[in-house]
């Protein structure tokens, strides 16, 4: 079989019919701008957009923007935006081409086109998956980090803003000038209250700018731009060469943009859109008044358990999530952690937490996933506050014991001490261990998580230090 040819509009007719997109990619136009066109977006929102389009039409195409890496541009531009998604079913992979992406932009190189699209009244939705660190929040978890050098440069009027918030604010300003057409800006990142957070960051940026129309822009944002909160869920491991080979075998052409993911997918959105949008409900998305119960359950159970698996697994020499689940302690550790974290979740209608936890164990154990724990361990300093510290604070305030969260923190602390981490705070985390005794190092670590309150909680710090000293193996 020759796969020298790349997937593209020209080679699409050669792809087996069952794997071709259910829509004609040529009939779409950019009506959505997506910031952060990584694997997750391609395996989740882009796929849902295509399903919605196939069922309901609307010509919903996506202009996908990559922030720094040119790899996505190099992968997708020669392929006319086409790529494949391979669902990793335990019984074997299933590959389908997605044709929802109509153009790929690089934020720095294509700044003018990005602004033009954000100003266009034909674009009514902006979605984002830029990871926690893309938001540039103040380390204490509040508003925009106004001291961040890139935010400062963007505020000083960089021609192509380097930060996501700078790009959005500049685009919204251009939109108000062009038409003032309403718009929905949809954060799809793993943060509690992601809509409200993003709204605040954009407003902080505008308020700190020297723009003449600053006040008018803030008024218009209030009345015409919605920032719905969302919960997104699908486990999407980083694509490997083996995945690209699987895709090429299924397609008969090479696909440099291939992505893969688990069968499960979920999208819950706050029903406050300001303008036209794809009928994502056709793809199973749920529109609800309040996403908060879903968000906390997902962040604290799935993502929290993921981080636990990552740090305990690293310390134990495991490679993948499924490896951890296959150890004698893996499933029990996940269940014990989830049982504790679930105590921080209020009962919510339609949310069966016990069933959710059972399904997590099955999803994590899927041997077809090869989900590397190093991928999850990345950027822990930004993930842990959302996943562990929020439930930890609430449970402690309610007078509850938190042995599992304490032991999770000890596992993370051990990894910051013994392993090199991919984290914006990696250097500071390592240097925290210059302090002795361990309790002082732990206080510093908690400070780096923006949790000075917990760093001052002597009983918590002592418990984590004891867990660390005992070197207790996972329960």
Which residues form the interface with ligand CS2 (CB under 6 A)? 190, 233-235, 302-303, 306, 375-376, 383
Q: Alpha-carbon distance 143 to 387, whole Å?
A: 19
Nearer to ligand CS2, 190 or 270 (CB): 190
Nearer to ligand CS2, 372 or 396 (CB): 372
Residue 383: HSE in the Cβ half-sphere, 13 Å Cα cutoff = 27
Residues 27 and 59 sit within 8 Å (Cβ to Cβ): yes
Nearer to ligand CS2, 15 or 235 (CB): 235
Please tell me whether the peptide bond between 20 and the residue prior to it is cis, using omega within 30 degrees of 0: no
Shortest distance, CB of residue 8 to ligand CS2, whole angstroms? 29
Q: Alpha-carbon distance 43 to 8, whole Å?
A: 18
What is the per-residue DSSP string for 30-94?
EEEEEE--SHHHHHTHHHHHHHHHHHH-S-EEEEEEESS-SHHHHHHGGGTT-EEEEEEETTEEE
Shortest distance, CB of residue 232 to ligand CS2, whole angstroms? 6
Nearer to ligand CS2, 22 or 424 (CB): 424
Nearer to ligand CS2, 67 or 303 (CB): 303
Residues 146 and 152 sit within 8 Å (Cβ to Cβ): yes
Shortest distance, CB of residue 25 to ligand CS2, whole angstroms? 26
Nearer to ligand CS2, 11 or 375 (CB): 375
Instruction: Please give the residue whose beta carbon sits closest to ligand CS2 in the complex.
Output: 306
Q: Please report, for residues 65, 180, 215, the alpha-carbon distance to residue 209 in angstroms, rounded to integers and kept in the order given.
A: 24, 19, 10
User: Beta partners for 83?
Assistant: 98
332 Cα distance to chain centroid: 27
Nearer to ligand CS2, 74 or 233 (CB): 233
Shortest distance, CB of residue 234 to ligand CS2, whole angstroms? 5
Structure tokens at 300: 């604290």
Shortest distance, CB of residue 188 to ligand CS2, whole angstroms? 10
Shortest distance, CB of residue 410 to ligand CS2, whole angstroms? 19
Shortest distance, CB of residue 237 to ligand CS2, whole angstroms? 8
Residues 311 and 404 sit within 8 Å (Cβ to Cβ): no
Shortest distance, CB of residue 131 to ligand CS2, whole angstroms? 9
Nearer to ligand CS2, 232 or 460 (CB): 232
Nearer to ligand CS2, 132 or 255 (CB): 132
Phi and psi (nearest 5°) for 471?
Answer: 55, 25
Nearer to ligand CS2, 371 or 393 (CB): 371
Shortest distance, CB of residue 357 to ligand CS2, whole angstroms? 15
Q: Which residue has the tokens 């562990």?
A: 388
Shortest distance, CB of residue 12 to ligand CS2, whole angstroms? 29
Q: Alpha-carbon distance 40 to 238, whole Å?
A: 9
- Beta pairing class for 266-270 and 230-233: antiparallel
Residues 242 and 267 sit within 8 Å (Cβ to Cβ): no
Per-residue burial over 116-151, b if 16 or more Cβ lie within 10 Å, else e, is ebbbbeebbbbbbbbbbbbbbbebebebbbeebeeb
């Amino acid at each position: 079989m020759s796969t020298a040819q790349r997937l593209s509009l020209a080679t699409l007719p050669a792809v087996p019919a069952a794997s071709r997109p259910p829509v004609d990619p040529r009939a779409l136009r950019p009506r959505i701008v997506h910031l952060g066109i990584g694997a997750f977006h391609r395996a989740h929102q882009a796929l849902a957009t295509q399903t919605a389009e196939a069922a309901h039409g609307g010509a919903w195409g996506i202009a996908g923007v990559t922030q720094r890496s040119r790899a996505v541009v190099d992968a997708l531009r020669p392929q006319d935006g086409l790529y494949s998604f391979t669902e990793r079913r335990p019984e074997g992979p299933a590959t389908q081409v997605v044709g929802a992406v109509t153009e790929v932009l690089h934020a720095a190189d294509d700044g003018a086109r990005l602004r033009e699209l954000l100003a266009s009244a034909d674009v009514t939705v902006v979605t984002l998956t830029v990871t926690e660190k893309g938001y540039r929040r103040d380390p204490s978890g509040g508003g925009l980090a106004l001291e961040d050098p890139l935010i400062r440069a963007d505020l000083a009027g960089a021609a192509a803003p380097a930060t996501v918030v700078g790009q959005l604010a500049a685009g919204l300003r251009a939109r108000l000038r062009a038409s003032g057409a309403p718009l929905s800006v949809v954060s799809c990142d793993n943060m509690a209250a992601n809509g409200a957070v993003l709204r605040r960051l954009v407003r902080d940026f505008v308020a700190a700018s020297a723009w003449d129309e600053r006040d008018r822009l803030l008024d218009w944002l209030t009345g015409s731009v919605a920032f719905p909160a969302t919960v997104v869920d699908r486990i999407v491991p980083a694509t490997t060469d083996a995945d690209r080979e699987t895709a090429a075998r299924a397609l008969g052409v090479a696909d440099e943009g291939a992505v893969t993911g688990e069968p499960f997918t979920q999208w819950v959105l706050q029903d406050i859109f300001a303008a036209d949008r794809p009928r994502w409900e056709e793809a199973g998305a749920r529109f609800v008044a309040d996403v908060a119960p879903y968000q906390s359950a997902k962040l604290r159970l799935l993502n929290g358990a993921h981080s636990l698996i990552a740090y305990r697994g690293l310390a134990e020499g495991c490679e993948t999530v499924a490896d951890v689940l296959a150890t004698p302690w893996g499933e029990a550790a996940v269940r014990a952690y989830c049982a504790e974290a679930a105590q921080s979740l209020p009962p919510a209608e339609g949310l069966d937490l016990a069933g959710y936890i059972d399904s997590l164990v099955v999803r994590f154990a899927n041997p077809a996933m090869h989900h590397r724990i190093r991928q999850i361990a990345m950027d822990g300093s930004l993930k842990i506050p959302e996943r562990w510290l929020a439930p930890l604070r609430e449970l402690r305030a309610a007078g509850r014991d938190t042995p599992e969260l304490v032991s999770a923190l000890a596992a993370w602390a051990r990894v910051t001490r013994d392993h090199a981490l991919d984290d914006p705070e990696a250097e500071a985390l390592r240097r925290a261990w210059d302090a002795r005794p361990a309790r002082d190092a732990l206080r510093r670590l908690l400070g780096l998580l923006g949790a000075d309150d917990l760093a001052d909680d002597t009983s918590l710090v002592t418990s984590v230090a004891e867990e660390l000293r005992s070197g207790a193996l996972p329960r």
